[in-house]
Structure 1
Amino acid sequence: MSCKERSGGMEADVIEMETVLVARGIRISAFCESAGIARTTWDRWKNGKTLPNMRTWMAVRDAYRAALKTKGAAA
């Protein structure tokens, strides 16, 4: 089974998150740093080449929520 077949739409989630972050003026490289992942890791997820483990994905989710709250409060 390929990574794409196991992802269950992970690429779509990453693309959606990236779209929202960029629309709010948040640089993806800065977001990745705050989430504790490399930008290249984000790109591999987005392209369906690898998948995050649950712990990493939860950290990304938490960083995403925090980024939206922080940016929303500043706007």
Structure 2
Amino acid sequence: MQHEVEFCEVSVVDLNSEIEAIESGLLEAGVTLTKFCFLAKISVSTWTRWRSGVVAPNFSTWSRVEATYEDMGGARSKDVSQVHSISQSEGAT
């Protein structure tokens, strides 16, 4: 019996577009990449390797990054109090 397996792949072009969109939204909202990475529980160096194409995120990690960005309201709001409340609830880990 043969099983079909579906993979969720994000092409490098799509990943770069997503990264650029997130970085643009963070800049617009006045949120640093360091703060965002802290909230997403990834290192800045990991983000940099993704951006440069050295490595790609696994599905679980990228899902967490997207969820963090969405929790921040897409980081499009100029009111970043939401970001501060998220970081307060996360606590320093």
TM range (shorter): 0.7 to 0.9
Relative to structure 1, the CA distance from residue 70 to residue 45 in structure 2 (aligned partners, 3 Å threshold; closer, same or farther) is closer
Say whether residues 1:57 and 2:79 are aligned partners. Answer: no
Asked if structure 2 preserves the Cα contact closer than 8 Å seen for 1:10 and 1:48, the reply is no
How far apart, CA to CA, are the structure 2 residues paired with 1:21 and 1:74?
Answer: 12
RMSD between aligned alpha carbons?
2.2
Percent of paired sites with the same residue? 26
Unaligned runs of 5+ in 2: 1-10, 81-93
Tell me how far apart the structure 2 counterparts of residues 10 and 73 of structure 1 sit (CA, whole Å): 25
Which of 18, 26, 35 aligns to 1:30? It is 35
Greater fraction helix = 1
CA distance in 2: counterparts of 1:36 and 1:52, whole angstroms:
13
Query: Structure 1: which 5+ residue stretches go unaligned?
Result: 1-5
1:42 to 40, 47, 53: 47
Give the partner amino acid of 1:23: E
TM-score using structure 2 length: 0.65
Alignment correspondent of 2:15: 10
More displaced 10-residue stretch of structure 1: 49-58 or 9-18: 9-18
